[in-house]
Amino acid sequence: MRHDHDASSALLEQVNYALYKRTPLRIQGSNSKAMLGCPVSGEVLDTRSHRGIVSYDPTELVLTARAGTPLVEIEAALECAGQMLPCEPPHLGVGATVGGMVAAGLSGPRRPWAGAVRDYVLGTRVITGHGKLLRFGGEVMKNVAGYDLSRLLTGSFGCLGVLTEVSLKVLPKPRRCASLRLEMNVHQALEKLAEWGQQPTPISAASYDGEALYLRLEGGEGSVESTSLHLGGEEIDSDYWLELREQRLNFFTDPAPLWRLSLPNNTRPLALPGKQLIDWGGAQRWLKSDADAALIRRSVAEVGGHATCYGADENPFPPLAAPLRLCHHNLKKQLDPQRIFNPGRMYAEV
């Protein structure tokens, strides 16, 4: 049962009171992404009271929802219309909200082929550090007024403002889906992925677990069937991709720290201690390792990538180069001059 409620006035009042008292706010929904970023001390601003789908027109492929709306409600509404969030964002916990989805900016296995969360954000409503509720962007792709600021807020972890409403572009679900498991070594897997990347193959997810390459094929009936026959292998349950997205595969049960490595396409296997799981066709790799953080970051930087640690109490995100650090500092100063929104969640200066 849905419980729609507009609590924007209450959220705005809480922000203005925090500005008056100069009290930091810890913005959260269900807190399902708490393992990402540094701990934040401050009064909790819970967005879950501000919930509900504001509008949804399947013919226009646009959905607008309040930030505290559970993702499961949005996905259920889309499912009824045969549509989906193409970036298949991970929930990583019960009660994950659409505001948290945008604030974290995390995408699932379809990311390299369909785009990231920010590619589907059309517009937002945001409470700024000046105590104002403002609208940025719109509800159609061609409306570009303020569009970039909405994209900027995606992945900002609540450091720049309180998201209260989001308009998202959605897409029809593919007509046919098939998942395959092909046994091969890691070098063969990366070579095959590079080869298929140059061909019109209907791949929408690719992962390698150390023993086999897993592929998801999506598209028209004929295209998926012919490609599946051509590639061979064993057909598996497509729930594999949900388990990967939600970090529920056996790989993730290892107690060692979890690292997310973002790498250029076709990067060779990295010689790092621990276990690795290849995702996003090789562009994203998960690492379970007790190795020194500096060693991991150095090895990843040498091939042009960066590393993020899940569950780290300090410095979870990649260090910023001086120009980027200045950019982050200036954005924080402009949008949150009193530094009350999730201070230090990403970096000390934001």
Q: Residues 90, 212: one domain?
A: no
Q: Residues 198, 162: one domain?
A: no
The pLDDT tens digits of the residues spanning 157-214 come to 999 999 999 999 999 999 999 999 999 999 999 999 999 988 899 999 999 999 999 9
- pLDDT higher than threshold 80 for residue 333: yes
The pLDDT tens digits of the residues spanning 272-322 come to 999 999 999 999 999 999 999 999 999 999 999 999 999 987 889 999 999
Measured distance CA(50)–CA(166) in Å, rounded: 12
The pLDDT tens digits of the residues spanning 82-93 come to 999 999 999 999
207 part of a folded domain: yes
Residue reference for tokens 């948290």: 100
Range of the domain at 288: 176-310
Q: What is the mean pLDDT of the chain?
A: 94
Predicted pLDDT of residue 143: 47
- pLDDT higher than threshold 70 for residue 95: yes
pTM above 0.85? yes
CATH number reported for the structural domain that contains residue 140 in this entry: 3.30.465.10
Predicted pLDDT of residue 111: 96
Measured distance CA(134)–CA(89) in Å, rounded: 25
Tokens coding 321: 């180069």
Please give the distance of CA 42 from its chain centroid, rounded to a whole number: 25
Q: Residues 125, 231: one domain?
A: no
The pLDDT tens digits of the residues spanning 41-53 come to 999 999 999 999 9
Q: Residues 189, 201: one domain?
A: yes
Please tell me the total count of domains within the chain: 2
Q: Residues 211, 301: one domain?
A: yes
Which of 19-23, 57-61, 266-270 is the least confident region? 266-270
86 part of a folded domain: yes
**Among candidate residues 6, 11, 92, the one with its CA nearest the CA of residue 54:** 6
Give the model's confidence band at 149: pLDDT under 50 very low, under 70 low, under 90 confident, else very high. Answer: confident
Tokens coding 77: 């509404």
Residue 81 has, within 13 A of its CA and on its CB side, a CA count of 19
